[in-house]
Chains A and B, each alone.
Chain A
Amino acid sequence: MPETISNKQKKLSLIAFSGDFDKLTAVFTLATGAAAVGYEVNIFFTFWGLDAIKQKKGRSFIGGNWLTKLFGFMMGGISVSPNSRFNFLGIGPKIFRYLMKKNNVATLEELVDAAVALNVNIYACEMAMHILGLQKGDFIHEVKDVLGVSTFLDISDGGQTLFI
C-alpha cells in the first residue's frame, strides 16, 4: 500500500529569524503545540533568533572580536528579548510576562523548557553564527546541530515550513 499523509508522521519546521519576545513566544507556542500532538518539529534559529538559544540569558559580551562582542551585548539573550511593538525600553515584555503568569498562560521560558522536554529539534544557522562570532558552545546544550540552508531544506522536506 502506498504511503499516505495519514500514516506518515506530520512535520512542522520553523525558521526563527526574529529575536523579539512576542515572535519567539509564537515560535515556541507553535513548536510545543505541534510536538505535543505528535508532529516532528524542527526549529532553525538564524540571525536575531539565535538570541533565544544562548546559554547566557541576559546581556554578555560574547563574540569573536570587540565588534561582535559589543553586538552580542546589545542583542542579549532570551530574558532581555524586546517586544516587536510597545517595547517601552524593555518594560513591554515585563508587562507581557506579568499578564501571562496572571492568566495562567505559559511564559516564554516555560515554553522553551516544554520544547526541550518534547524533543523538539533545535538547529542553529552556521552562516549567522559566523557573522556574529558565535560558537556552538555559546548555545544551550539542546542545540542538535549547526546547519546551512541546504541541510535545513532536506530536514524540512515534506512538511510545513513557517518563517517567523
Chain B
Amino acid sequence: MSHILDITKEHCPMTFVKTKLELAKLKEGEILEVLLTEGEPLNNVPKSATEQGFEVLSIEHVEGSTHKVTIKK
C-alpha cells in the first residue's frame, strides 16, 4: 500500500518532522511517496531516511522544483 505526503510547502524542521511521523505510522513493507522541493529537503530527507534504516526506492523529478522520493519502510 502506498501513502503520499506533500511537504513542498513546509520548511525546516517540519519537512523532516512530518516525514518521520508519517513513516512511523506505516507498517513494514509499506511505501511512502514524499513530494518535496529542491535544496535542503531533497538533499537531506532521502539521506536521513536511509540513515534510519528505510529504503529509498527512487527519486524522480515531477515538475519545476518538485521531486518525488519513494521510501519503503
- Which residues of A are interface residues toward B (Cβ below 8 A)? 29-30, 32-33, 35-38, 103-106, 110-111, 114, 117-118
Q: Say whether B66 faces chain A, with CB atoms less than 8 Å apart.
A: no
Q: Say whether B2 faces chain A, with CB atoms less than 8 Å apart.
A: no
Residues of the A chain whose Cβ atoms lie less than 8 Å from the Cβ of B10: 104
How many Å lie between the Cα of A30 and that of B17 in the bound state?
A: 11
How many Å lie between the Cα of A111 and that of B12 in the bound state?
A: 11
- Which residues of B are interface residues toward A (Cβ below 8 A)? 9-14, 16-17, 19-21, 44, 48, 51-52
Given contacts A35-B20, A36-B20, A104-B9, contact A114 B14 (CB under 8 A): yes
Question: Per DSSP, are chain B's interface residues mostly helix, strand or loop, or mixed?
Answer: helix
Question: Per DSSP, are chain A's interface residues mostly helix, strand or loop, or mixed?
Answer: helix
Q: Which residue of B9, B12, B44 contacts A29 across the interface (Cβ within 8 Å)?
A: B12
How many Å lie between the Cα of A30 and that of B48 in the bound state?
A: 15
Interface centre among B14, B17, B21 (most CB of A within 10 A): B17
B48 pairs with A38, CB closer than 8 A = yes
Residues of the B chain whose Cβ atoms lie less than 8 Å from the Cβ of A117: 17, 21
How many Å lie between the Cα of A28 and that of B16 in the bound state?
A: 13
Given contacts A36-B16, A106-B14, contact A118 B48 (CB under 8 A): no
Given contacts A33-B12, A37-B44, A104-B11, contact A118 B52 (CB under 8 A): no
How many Å lie between the Cα of A59 and that of B39 in the bound state?
A: 41
Q: Which residue of A36, A38, A103, A104 contacts B13 across the interface (Cβ within 8 Å)?
A: A36
B12 pairs with A118, CB closer than 8 A = no
Nearest residue (CB) in A for B9 is: A104
B11 pairs with A118, CB closer than 8 A = no
B19 pairs with A36, CB closer than 8 A = yes
A37 pairs with B51, CB closer than 8 A = yes
